[in-house]
Structure 1
Amino acid sequence: MFGPEGPTLRELAVQALSSVEHGYDLLAPKFDHTPFRTPDPVLDAVAEALAPLGPFTDGLDLCCGTGAGSRPLARLCRRSVTGIDFSAGMLDVARRRVPPAGPPRVSWVRGDARALPFTGAFDLVVSFGAFGHFLPGELPGLFAGLRAALRPGGRFAFPVFAPPRPTHPGFWLLSGFDAVMRVRNALRRPPFVMYYRALRLGAVLEELERAGFTVELRVLPGFGRRADGSPRGRLVVARNDGAPEPGAHTAAGRVNS
């Protein structure tokens, strides 16, 4: 499935019937050959959008997987890049494919994003495609931990893309996936938390602001616009303190989720 180097349907089924942690351990050797890995154009667009907000010294890739996010972070951070993930299998792949020597220095930490072991350690945190693994009730703790891990003035950034309309086949594909996962989790333990449509952007932004962040939305221009003129891709930038950057728009009142 997904080509000769990707996982088979049977391997994906075994993964889905496992815990999230063990499932990703199993998927790790073939993860980069699936659509679940964030595409390079998205990584490059995020790095380009964040570059004017720097310079940054130390960066964290939250839920780093096999380390794809270390490449844009290495372009932005001068001293160190850290990846954290709770899958040992994913981190093993990351260590093999990303050299530790810098600058910046690259290191990997096995840990839970909901209980970050850092205090005031970073001025930039990024995350790519991780929000489907968090339930709505986990966001307050997640964002409180992120804010504690950031230095004053530090930023947490992640890309978001306009969801498909109900008239698009992708809408029904994602909705169907979520429905199957809900049935699976109702029948089997431990649950495999991975939902594409469980969290709405508006709710995420509200929780960020409630946690004490100043939240901004920046357009990722390389992904074009929808028929109604709204951007297909945007970058959420949550700042630990301070006023919005010049040229950015505050999130309030500007989100359609």
Structure 2
Amino acid sequence: MFAPEGPTLRELAVQALSSVERGYDLLAPKFDRTPFRTPEAVLGPVLRELREMGPFGSGLDLCCGTGAGVEVLRRVCRERVTGVDLSAGMLAVGRERLRGAAGPGDVSDGEDGPGDVPGGVAGPRPAWVRADARALPFGPVFDVVVSFGAFGHFLPRERPVLFGQVASVLRPGGRFVFPVVAPARPGSALYWGLLGFDAVMRIRNALWRPPFVMYYRGFRLSEVRAELERAGLAVETRPLPELGRRADGSPRCRLVVATRR
């Protein structure tokens, strides 16, 4: 499905009946050939905003997957870049992919130092860390934390812990940055599509164990803003005009910038 070298329908079904961790381990070798990887159309505008805020010393890609956010951070961080994810399979693919793009020896696990990223842009070598985002194994050592498309894997009741963990690994003045898409207009095809997907996931989790948490409709900016502020982060949003506007003129996508007080 999705592409000639992408996962088959059977493979997707097996992954969907696994846990989140096991499902992504299975999907990892073909993940970059699916629509689930954050597209360049989103990464580019976020990179532009980060360049205006930066440069930074050290950066963390939270729930990094195969490293799309790691590549962005290597362009704006001078000292250290780290990707953290629960799936060992996704980390392994990210490590190999960047190693292949950078050349032998330019990317290593847990090593910092100069290297090349795709496109010939110099940046620190990334470290790849397997850990639960709700229990990060770091102190307050990061100047910026980014995340792309991961929040649907956390139940609303888990978000205060998640945001508290992010705040705990940021230096004072450090920033937590992530894009948020505007909610689908009620009655639109996207609205019904998301509603149907959410319903299927809830039925699946009611009938099958282990659960696979992926509920993107529950990530509402008004609620998220309040939770970030309770975690000690001052929140602002910035439009990403490259991603278009809705019929009422509001941006289709905003960038949340939450700064540790």
* Structure 2 counterpart of 1:205, from 203, 218, 225: 225
**CA deviation string 1:186-243 (max 9, x = no partner):** 11111100112022121111100111100000011101211111111110000002xx
2:240–2:253 CA contact under 8 A, matched in 1: yes
Q: After the TM superposition, which residues 99-248 of structure 1 pair with which residues of structure 2 at under 5 Å, given as runs?
A: 99=99, 100=107, 102=115, 103-241=123-261
Q: For structure 1, which segment, 120-129 or 189-198, has the greater mean C-alpha deviation from structure 2 after superposition?
A: 189-198
Distance 2:168 2:249 in 1: 37
2:160–2:227 CA contact under 8 A, matched in 1: yes
Amino acid at match of 1:121: V
1:132–1:195 CA contact under 8 A, matched in 2: yes
After TM superposition, give the deviation of residue 174 of structure 1 in Å.
1.1
Q: For structure 1, which segment, 186-195 or 94-103, has the greater mean C-alpha deviation from structure 2 after superposition?
A: 94-103
After TM superposition, give the deviation of residue 75 of structure 1 in Å.
0.8
2:58–2:80 CA contact under 8 A, matched in 1: yes
Amino acid at match of 2:248: D
Q: After the TM superposition, which residues 20-169 of structure 1 pair with which residues of structure 2 at under 5 Å, given as runs?
A: 20-99=20-99, 100=107, 102=115, 103-169=123-189
After TM superposition, give the deviation of residue 121 of structure 1 in Å.
1.3
2:8 maps to: 8
SS in 2 for 1:230: coil
1:175–1:196 CA contact under 8 A, matched in 2: no
What's the Cα RMSD here? Answer: 1.0
Distance 1:66 1:211 in 2: 28
After TM superposition, give the deviation of residue 98 of structure 1 in Å.
1.1
**CA deviation string 1:65-124 (max 9, x = no partner):** 001111111111011110000101001101101132533121100000010111111000
Amino acid at match of 2:13: A
1:63–1:127 CA contact under 8 A, matched in 2: yes
Unpaired stretches in structure 2, ≥5 consecutive residues: 100-106, 108-113, 116-122
1:32–1:66 CA contact under 8 A, matched in 2: yes
Q: State percent identity of aligned pairs.
A: 68
> TM-score scaled by structure 2?
0.90
**CA deviation string 1:4-42 (max 9, x = no partner):** 111111111100100000000000001001111000121
Q: For structure 1, which segment, 157-166 or 100-109, has the greater mean C-alpha deviation from structure 2 after superposition?
A: 100-109
Amino acid at match of 1:51: R
Flag as ranges the 4+ runs of structure 1 deviating above 6 A: none
SS in 2 for 1:158: strand
Distance 2:29 2:125 in 1: 24
1:245 maps to: none
SS in 2 for 1:98: helix
